[in-house]
A and B are shown apart, each in its own frame.
Chain A
């Protein structure tokens, strides 16, 4: 039966693995276990995982189609950079970095709130248009603020982003979104994807659910932007254009909608692929849009196709299902309704 004493079984497995991972993430740069180049790639993968998982919450789990994720990333990147360069003293920078990142997330979340309230009155395609416009607006606004360098970009950041920091934030992102997804609020998100009218009529406050998910998604994109800025040490409005947003979309749909493991895979594979194909030069830029088209046509649900790796399901939820159905397949959480979810 559901519920009962062994709910907590396996509860320590995930935190333990996360801790081992952290030790590794700390040891790699400390003892130079791999070349700085590979370390850099790992950090890019981490940042991309954050972007992918957070967009997946809105596009995959909730079935909306937001296309301007780089806009939130830009807000975060500039907020964090301005703080560490202008507001924080040089010596305190490394210690206040987490604060700068939180502010980056909060800034992006605030922008998301401003967009979400009017745009979620409408549905489907409208959100795509609104987020696309937002991405362009954010970019143009930054280009026109001389105080942050305008079109010339902004620099002066220290390289505060390190592998352990990226790792910690990846874990926080995955953990947060996982916990949300497997709660009543997450089921509200899934219900919105499946049938918004029915969701509302079984008591789900669909507007709350949508705004919450959108803000949470933007928050992590903002933090990812802050990490990105302090890795590159030079940011430019063009780092956050539609191409960047398209890349994030490709990572979401490549890995699979509605799946944390999918996003981890999608971000990892795409990042490595983009690096490996450096020799293609400018032609590399064709890769993302082309992949997106192919994915939509051939496999709109992506690699994981709405399935989830058991390690990413909370242990207490797994225990509930185990008592219910001995089959290892676990519960159906799928939705073959197409990647765009419209």
Chain B
């Protein structure tokens, strides 16, 4: 079991944003988390990555608890993420966006960097190489020197995934990667996610509103509403679950 979450609770003042959330994710899986707006999906990601400290509950990666660690330590343990609203280092080059994600695998000390020892230069060559290889996977090598903000929207989404993968994660959290994309881009993205999962051997947790995409690539789904899990199962089971339909569309509706 790669990720185990038990009894996870979080409050914002009086709002109980996440209530008794529980999740098991096996190595290599692609699990979707869906739910209406404000259901607490992104809060779960923020709890896993240490942006918030949970009010109660435990989150374990490979059996070791992540609770209370600063975000950068959680990254070191092997969790990477993207953001619902793109958070690239906008004014830095595309290459530097990826190179920053190598921070923990620099392999040289501050003192060595100040002396710019030959070791540092060789290591920097290697890191630049690796960053460029990563960009090639996403078709972004040609724009490596451009500032990230100059990329079209879809490419920025890809760059965020590339940056997350550059940290060398075991678990990749994708927060609405298809938001703002047109149908053909969404289709490409679905292929890309599947490709990433296989090529990098990462386990993926996906928050998404594009039902068609979620249903097509995830083998297992968890549905959240008002901070609580209301359904779990395969896409087929979720499609027919009356509580899910109710949460999304209101009472007395059937999904086409």
Interface residues, chain A, with chain B CB atoms under 8 Å away: 1-4, 7-8, 176, 179-180, 183-188, 190-191, 194-195, 197-207, 212, 306, 314, 316-317, 320-321, 324-325, 327, 329-337
Q: How far is the CA of A212 from the CA of B87 in the complex (A)?
A: 24
Q: B71 touching A200 by the CB < 8 A rule?
A: yes
Minimum CB–CB distance for A20 against chain B, Å: 20
Q: A332 touching B147 by the CB < 8 A rule?
A: yes
A202/B92 contact (C-beta < 8 A), A183-B113, A183-B124, A317-B124 known: no
Q: A202 touching B167 by the CB < 8 A rule?
A: yes
Q: How far is the CA of A314 from the CA of B128 in the complex (A)?
A: 15
Minimum CB–CB distance for B140 against chain A, Å: 12
Q: A327 touching B145 by the CB < 8 A rule?
A: yes
Q: A194 touching B89 by the CB < 8 A rule?
A: yes
Chain B residues near A331 (CB-CB < 8 A): 93, 95-96, 145
Chain A residues near B99 (CB-CB < 8 A): 184, 187
Q: How far is the CA of A2 from the CA of B174 in the complex (A)?
A: 29
Q: How far is the CA of A298 from the CA of B163 in the complex (A)?
A: 35
A184/B102 contact (C-beta < 8 A), A200-B71, A320-B124, A321-B145 known: yes
Total A-B residue pairs with C-beta atoms closer than 8 Å?
151
Q: How far is the CA of A202 from the CA of B145 in the complex (A)?
A: 20
Chain A residues near B56 (CB-CB < 8 A): none
A184, A195, A325, A330: which contacts B103 (Cβ < 8 A)?
Answer: A184
User: Is residue B221 within 8 Å, beta carbon to beta carbon, of the partner chain?
Assistant: no
Q: How far is the CA of A202 from the CA of B92 in the complex (A)?
A: 15
Minimum CB–CB distance for B139 against chain A, Å: 16
Number of B residues, CB within 8 Å of A: 50
A–B complex contacts, Cβ < 8 Å, 19 sampled: A3-B129, A179-B116, A183-B116, A183-B124, A194-B92, A197-B51, A199-B100, A202-B101, A204-B72, A206-B72, A325-B144, A327-B145, A331-B96, A331-B145, A332-B91, A332-B92, A333-B96, A335-B92, A336-B91
B51, B92, B104: which contacts A203 (Cβ < 8 A)?
Answer: B104
Other contacts beyond A187-B92, A191-B89: 7, CB < 8 A: A3-B129, A7-B121, A203-B76, A324-B145, A325-B145, A329-B145, A331-B95
A320/B128 contact (C-beta < 8 A), A187-B96, A191-B89, A200-B71 known: yes
Chain B residues near A4 (CB-CB < 8 A): 125
Minimum CB–CB distance for A92 against chain B, Å: 29
A180/B110 contact (C-beta < 8 A), A4-B125, A333-B92 known: yes
Q: How far is the CA of A2 from the CA of B89 in the complex (A)?
A: 21
Chain A residues near B106 (CB-CB < 8 A): 183-185
Q: B75 touching A201 by the CB < 8 A rule?
A: yes
Q: B100 touching A332 by the CB < 8 A rule?
A: no
Chain B residues near A198 (CB-CB < 8 A): 83, 87-89
A184, A191, A194: which contacts B127 (Cβ < 8 A)?
Answer: A184
- Which of B151-200 touch A at CB < 8 Å? 163-164, 166-167
Q: How far is the CA of A180 from the CA of B72 in the complex (A)?
A: 20
Chain A residues near B115 (CB-CB < 8 A): 179
Q: A337 touching B91 by the CB < 8 A rule?
A: yes
User: Is residue B81 within 8 Å, beta carbon to beta carbon, of the partner chain?
Assistant: yes
Chain B residues near A325 (CB-CB < 8 A): 144-145
Q: B95 touching A185 by the CB < 8 A rule?
A: no
B120, B125, B145, B166: which contacts A183 (Cβ < 8 A)?
Answer: B120
Chain B residues near A201 (CB-CB < 8 A): 49, 51, 71-72, 75, 80-81
Q: A202 touching B146 by the CB < 8 A rule?
A: no
A190/B51 contact (C-beta < 8 A), A184-B127, A202-B103 known: no
Query: What sequence of 0s and 1s flags, for each residue 13-34 of chain B, a beta carbon within 8 Å of any chain A beta carbon?
Result: 0000000000000000000000
